[in-house]
Structure 1
Amino acid sequence: MHKQVLIAGGGIGGLAAALGCSRAGWEVRLYERADAFTEVGAGVQIGPNVVRRLQAWGLQSALQAVAAFPDRLQVRSAQGGRELASLRLGATVIERYGAAYATIHRADLHGLLFQAVRGRPEVHLNLGQAVERHAEEGGAVTLRLVRGDGTAVEVEGDAFIGADGLRSGTRARLLGETPTRVSGHLAYRAVVRQDALPQALRTTRVTAWLGPRLHVVQYPLRRGELINVVAIRHGTPPADLETWDHGANAQELEAALAGTCTALQDLVRAVPQAGSGWRLWPLLDRPPIAGPHEMARGLVALLGDAAHPMRPYLAQGAGMAIEDAAELQRALAMHDLDVPLRLRRYALNRWQRNARVQERSRRNGTIFHATGPLRWGRDMALRLLGERILDVPWLYRGDGSSASLL
């Protein structure tokens, strides 16, 4: 008989987990608290380590239909505008790592995973049901679910995966309530149609503009039809983001970019204020994972941001969730082991890589926003070493398997 896994959360991590678990031969019941499967946010960069995993799941054609595949990553000075270094992508990355470097809208990545799981008869997707609590007893795990109308129901399974995001209720019940870490950085995100921009501002590349206490990243989305722009600066988040007037974001951002080069200021000013315009997100994370016990205990495991939220300075948040799902698939397919041991194997094979990415992401933020001598040293190193600094072989050669742990 098929074992049954219960999953909390219908975001990118939850859907990837559902796909991986079903491919391991498990029946899947996924519970999402919202009334629809949607994804908020803007663009995502996915390196060859992630693209290889999507290919293994048979999603290469779906990815090619919605993603962009930049030909180069370049780093420029936000103040002077000059190029500091560049990394060849495209065919070079495919030859070096066996898969492409892609950029994709979060909604498109979520959508292709959703389409992949909805057609699998062993996956049951449930909307409008929040996991209020879980409990283990007698070799099974029980969830109490609360529907939007306040009614409650209990369900039972053989394992439970918390993929319920940064403020994960599963994590709080498993590891105890601990506050997220405030980074002191604010992210302003916008997505613009390329044909609405002057020709000089359109791009097929990933460009990172580095400045004192800030940086801006731009890259194409959706086959190159869109451009994603993310500006991150040091700052204090609003007291209540729910009531925050996002109409003020453009003015705040332009003030923060005073003194940067004309090309960068032109890009930021070209974002239309009609529609969504600039949306503000304070960046939060947690300290790097300290051991496998922070990813799995007994019949319960954590995945993605529920386990290891990270800053976006290595562009691997969504990627690590997909890698988690790949390793979860491998672990759950070990049918000669009991379930707690399979989940422990998953955690043992993931926690060090996730912790390394978390720490490297934090460190990159310090380097990106450097001032004074550290900034001068950074720029000199980029000019001298170029691709040797921008390439990340330990990351891109890995795919979440135990064999590529480090």
Structure 2
Amino acid sequence: MEHLPVEVIGNILSHISAARDVVLASATCRKWREAFRKHLRVLSFNSGDWHGFHDLSTSQIEILITRTIFQTSGLRSLLIIVDDLDEFSASVVMSWLLYTRDSLQELHYDVRTEPGLNVVEICGRQKLEKLTLAHDAIEQVDPNYHKFTSLRSLSLSYVHISEQDLSLLLAACRKLESLELIELDLSGPLEKVEVSAPYLRRFYMEEICLDKLVLEASNIEYLHLRDSNIEFFKVIGNGSLKKIMIDHSTMPHIEICDSAENLETIDFNNFTILPAVFYQLISKSLKLRTLRLWDVAFGEGNKVVDLETIALCCPLLSHLSLGCDLRDDELLPYCLGGSAHLVNMVYLKVGWSNTLKDEFVDLVEELLGRCPRIRKLSVDGVISGIKDHEDCLVLARFTTAIVRIMRKYIDVDVQFDFDN
């Protein structure tokens, strides 16, 4: 160890990252202390990983963090996560950010201060490539001043920001490749948020309510919307989208079909979509390999999904998951007419969330007959809805039918996952 260059020791300490462990390791000898001071690149303060954190007063914690940071030079990654039991002095936290901002490439900031701090104001126009903000406030964004010319990843969680400032902030991050927006406290009169990010590849949104969201991203590949309510959502792209996931969200008007020609995965869960939009999306997804429809409903018109159309439009489809709860008129939400086969299907998952009905097994058997290369069948269901003798009889008939199916398709691996 004594022959290791200080740069290598600094790299070792950077991989440890946790501040307490780094300080202890740097006390080994003079060479390790030098590596800590001059060659440490990553430092993490996380109250969840800090044993004895809550035994210290707020001022003691501030002093420890200040001393540790001010002994380093050239930090590239700084993580500060402090739970909401502590509220730090804004001037002290600002000193940490000012001391490190010229060299920082990555900042994960989740600190409550009194008064509040505008991290964008402090770190704008610096070298940041990845910025994660939580429980913070962003105000009065000036796109002519707050320019993140190197920022490639931005995550905002539980941040107070107006819709106008959000649009201006995203406009100032022209090189974004990854964007996460989680439970933002949005305010202001603006009814539309526009995101124009030509390099954006990944977009994740959770618990966001907006009247209108327009995402212009010519290189978008991954799109995930969760627990969100957006009246109008539109994606403007060049057909680069490969995976889309929407779950527990409400979007009466959605326009994503123009970006669907290279889609490989569609995952809809607890989501309502218009039939015309769905079939237009399917008709353009010629490269689709994975399709998951779980608790999906159509907003109007024919509310039954035509699996024949899916088979014809998606010849490469290999993984299919279907939630088979009955609709209000006691019909299954899927039909399989015609004679088209799912020739590349190797994995089929079916299940129900409410009450099991006899029609469920009929659909499963018919689907298996259309999948000559099927290798695995997964059956997921909830059996808590079985309350009377008739329900018990349905379960018994289901069990008998599944055994018969397993005997018929002996090369298919069948797995069950039941919840109470």
**Normalization by structure 2: what TM-score?**
0.19
Instruction: Tell me which protein shows more helix as a share of its residues.
Output: 1
Larger of the two Rg values belongs to structure: 2
Which one scores higher on RCO, CA 8 angstroms, separation ≥ 6? 1
**Normalization by structure 1: what TM-score?**
0.19
